[in-house]
Amino acid sequence: MEKATFAAGCFWGVEAAFRNVSGVKSTSVGFMGGTTKNPSYKEVCTDKTGHAEVVMVEYDSAEVSYEQLLEVFWNIHDPTQVNRQGVDVGSQYRSAIFYHTPEQKAAAEASKEQLQSSGKFKAPIATEIVSATDYYLAEEYHQQYLEKKGLPSCHC
């Protein structure tokens, strides 16, 4: 299994999108990219921890490529938004790719450059591409939240 970590706004909907990808074996939601050790959801929501809400994806690279996961990532949010997605505002909702290997970094940078030059977005892509740091699992009630609530998406 390989790991990929993405931040694209509220992690509930991001997790649901990746759980539906063939080759993804598991997902979890949590926090990455900040300075506070073992933050709670409540702490992250203060926008003072520096963490982003992220989805950790474990996948079988024989069934789905990292590039295919990047395609999902780019298509499930607006990567031109800075520290927000829709009504969710704060650095915890930033768009970011946390790479785990040099190959992931290169693939992420190439896909970002390709998307920016495609003209799909008028504004510059704001997505950060940064090295994965410590991952802190969010509280259990956040895991597979939409499935638990029987909701198809965050925007019902």
Q: How far apart are CA 123 and CA 35, in angstroms?
A: 29
CA angle centred on 119, ends 72 and 65, rounded to 5°: 25
Q: What is the pTM of this model?
A: 0.94
- Enumerate the active-site residues: 10
Average pLDDT over residues 12-30: 95
pLDDT in tens, 110-133: 999 999 999 999 999 999 999 999
Sign of the torsion formed by the C-alpha atoms of 18, 24, 25 and 27: negative
The number of beta carbons lying within 10 Å of the beta carbon of residue 89 is 13
Q: How far apart are CA 11 and CA 13, in angstroms?
A: 6
Going from the N-terminus, what domains does the chain have, and what CATH number goes with each? 2-149 (3.30.1060.10)
Q: Does residue 98 have a pLDDT over 90?
A: yes
**Could you give the percent of the chain with pLDDT greater than 90?**
88
pLDDT at 153: 67
Question: Using the 8-state DSSP alphabet, how is residue 152 labeled?
Answer: S
Q: Does residue 156 have a pLDDT over 50?
A: no
